[in-house]
Amino acid sequence: MAPEHRGQAVKSALKHAFNWLESQFSRLFTAQCNPLYQLGAMSFFYYWIVAITGVYLFIFFETSISGAYASVEQITHEQWYFGGVMRSFHRYASAAMGICVTLHLLREFAMDRYSGVRWFSWVSGIPLLWLLFASAIGGYWLVWDVQAQYIAITTAEWFDVLPIMVDPMASNFLNEASLSDRFFSLLVFLHIGIPLALLLGMFIHIKRISNVRTNPARGLAAGTLLAMLVISLWRPALSQAPANLDVAVTEVGLDWIFLNPYPLIDDWGPGTVWLLLVGLSTLLTILPWLPSRRPQQTPIAVVDPANCNGCGWCLADCPYEAVTLKVHDFKPGRQQSVVDPDLCISCGICAGACPSSSPFRHVDELITGISIPSLHIKELLPLTESKLRELQGTGRVMVYGCDHGSDFANTESESVACISMPCTALVPPAFIDYVLRKDLADGVMISGCCEGDCHYRLGNTWMNQRFNEERMPILRTRVPRKLVRTRWLGVQGQAQLDREILEFQHYLRHDTDAQAQAISHG
């Protein structure tokens, strides 16, 4: 198999695994609290736990060779009920962050969310991996137990193969007599500096996306803290035997999450591990530009100044901050939207937000202030109308969905019309009003990605808010809510969506209340 195809197979297998796990998690945690939908936010959460507990530990930590081990022991045992718990939180939250970040990386890869406009988030994520590992390794080093001794010698020998050091770093750790407090002060400085650099990197990482979720759902955060408390009391983080450079490290307990490259350094040699890690990082960095069979991005959104009044709704809804406002080309005192081609992801959410995307306008052609060329609103209207005119019988349903959710190939029937688009939030709420008011359909079903996880980050959130009249443009109050259903079921909810449509049709045909509402709205 060619490498490109092998990569695709791995990605597809990963995607299926994630989709399956996500459905199970949503069942138990609810979609809002599904940790797999907020791995970035969970990583932030764990970072804050590590930072806060780190400040506490630092108060009691002694920055010297003789004091470091003893002070950590004191925190752990004499203050087991608080300092000890803080230490356990510090260690376990770091490890949890390591796992969450790895899953986050794998998931963004599996879901094809790393190329195009997203290259910036992807590429800026890679230094975060190095900084995270460096932060964790630095932390273990400070404890100055046997594991720290192993880390000190192996790290030093690992760096010594680089032709940058005049004096080998490893000669700082020859034996007890050669050890100096000065190196320890440097370590403490690094263990504060590197995590701060990590935080800065985390903010750069999310710089180019809007409405970023950096806090997990409250229920999930609370559950996590509780689980960590139980674990910390049951299995507190402990030191191993104190370091003694006069005795070689033979058997050592390792943190396999962060120290996994170390045994490789022993086995393969430091040079090979540098090659491996730098090679892997380089491969990850260029991944967004490697040939792949992922769908190519369609042309970006275009603004029609004649129909743009500078209301800013598209700007508020764009998930990638691609829209800004400038002085209007020809309407004095007005502004108009501008699309940044480097940031636009062609999702079309902006078109769904545009107040000019209303099919009730008396115009020959529905040209809107902003739209995406691959499915312009002026095409969506005739497409909707033509599909619906072909429907027969009762319980006619218009299904709007997205290319990342269910496949509609077998969903259409003589009473069900389906239109798929890049993101369902491209559908302006006025279209739903129009379809029902003109009696083109008896009900409208909105589907798309899974609840809590939109391929374009915010589509289903904005749709829910528009329907709940919390966000402009709203679905007008006059639209009977019983005739509109939203089902965010994702690609894994294919069968369920088909069932839900049948059930909706049954309801539309037999529920007198629904029929009464349809008549009054029409």
Partner 1 sequence: MVKPGQYLGQALLFGLFFLPLVYLTSQPVYLRQDPQLATIKVAVRHAGAVVGECVAAGGEAYDKLPVNMRRPEICPRERSPLRLQLRLDEQTLFSVTEPASGLHSDGVSSVYRRFTVPTGRYQLSMLMNDDVAVEGFNWQLEQEIELLPAQVMVVSFKGGFRIQ
Give the binding site for ligand HEM (CB under 6 A). 40-41, 43-44, 101, 104-105, 108, 113-114, 118, 121-122, 125-126, 128-129, 132, 202, 205-206, 209, 212-214, 284, 457
Rounded least distance, CB 15 to ligand HEM, Å: 14
**Tokens found for residue 216:** 């997990």
Strands (E), 285-434: 302-303, 323-327, 335-339, 370-371, 397-402, 416-421
The C-alpha atoms of residue 43 and residue 62 are separated, in whole angstroms, by 29
Binder of residue 462, out of partner 1, ligand HEM, none (CB less than 5 to 8 A by kind)? none
Can you give 215-240 as a three-state secondary structure string? CCCHHHHHHHHHHHHHHHHHCCCCCC
Location of structure tokens 């192996």: 154
The C-alpha atoms of residue 73 and residue 152 are separated, in whole angstroms, by 20
Binder of residue 384, out of ligand HEM, partner 1, none (CB less than 5 to 8 A by kind)? none
174 binds partner 1 (CB under 8 A): yes
Binder of residue 253, out of ligand HEM, partner 1, none (CB less than 5 to 8 A by kind)? partner 1
CA distances from 262 to 167, 243, 276, 356 (A): 22, 17, 13, 60
Phi, psi of 423 (to 5 degrees): -145, 135
The C-alpha atoms of residue 190 and residue 193 are separated, in whole angstroms, by 5
Binder to partner 1 among 253, 279, 393, 522 (CB under 8 A)? 253
Contacts of residue 215, Cβ cutoff 8 Å, sequence gap at least 6: 41, 44, 45, 221
Residue 341 C-alpha from the chain's centroid: 22
Binder of residue 502, out of ligand HEM, partner 1, none (CB less than 5 to 8 A by kind)? none
The smaller minimum CB distance to partner 1, of residues 23 and 121, is found at 23
Binder of residue 212, out of ligand HEM, partner 1, none (CB less than 5 to 8 A by kind)? ligand HEM
Instruction: Kindly determine how many residues on this chain lie close enough to bind partner 1 according to the rule CB under 8 A.
Output: 47
Q: Give strand pairing partners of 339.
A: 323
106 binds partner 1 (CB under 8 A): no
The smaller minimum CB distance to partner 1, of residues 75 and 397, is found at 75
Rounded least distance, CB 296 to ligand HEM, Å: 17
Q: Is 304 exposed, middle or buried (0-12, 13-18, 19+ CB in 10 A)?
A: middle
38 binds partner 1 (CB under 8 A): no
The smaller minimum CB distance to partner 1, of residues 82 and 256, is found at 256
Binder to partner 1 among 8, 30, 74, 515 (CB under 8 A)? 30
Phi, psi of 386 (to 5 degrees): -65, -40
257 binds partner 1 (CB under 8 A): yes
Q: What angle do CA 257, 259, 260 make, to 5 degrees?
A: 75
The smaller minimum CB distance to partner 1, of residues 260 and 386, is found at 260
Binder to partner 1 among 92, 133, 320, 488 (CB under 8 A)? 92
267 binds partner 1 (CB under 8 A): no
32 binds partner 1 (CB under 8 A): no
Contact 402, 421 (CB under 8 A): yes
Query: Could you tell me which of 327, 323, 273, 279 has the C-alpha nearest to residue 303?
Result: 323
Q: What angle do CA 82, 86, 91 make, to 5 degrees?
A: 150
Rounded least distance, CB 174 to partner 1, Å: 5
The smaller minimum CB distance to partner 1, of residues 204 and 241, is found at 241
Location of structure tokens 């058997």: 251
224 binds partner 1 (CB under 8 A): yes
Rounded least distance, CB 120 to ligand HEM, Å: 8
The smaller minimum CB distance to partner 1, of residues 27 and 218, is found at 27
Which ranges in 111-176 belong to alpha helices (H)? 119-142, 146-160
Binder to partner 1 among 68, 117, 137, 228 (CB under 8 A)? 228
The C-alpha atoms of residue 149 and residue 161 are separated, in whole angstroms, by 19
Rounded least distance, CB 165 to partner 1, Å: 8
Torsion of the alpha carbons at 487, 491, 492 and 496, rounded to the nearest 10: 40
468 binds partner 1 (CB under 8 A): no
14 binds partner 1 (CB under 8 A): no
The smaller minimum CB distance to ligand HEM, of residues 87 and 213, is found at 213
Binder of residue 214, out of ligand HEM, partner 1, none (CB less than 5 to 8 A by kind)? ligand HEM
The C-alpha atoms of residue 85 and residue 77 are separated, in whole angstroms, by 10
Residues 133-162 vs partner 1: string with x where CB under 8 A? -----------------x--x---x--x--
Instruction: Give the binding site for partner 1 (CB under 8 A).
Output: 25, 27-30, 91-92, 95-96, 99, 150, 153, 157, 160, 166-168, 170-171, 174-175, 177-178, 223-224, 227-228, 231, 235, 237-238, 240, 245-257, 263, 266
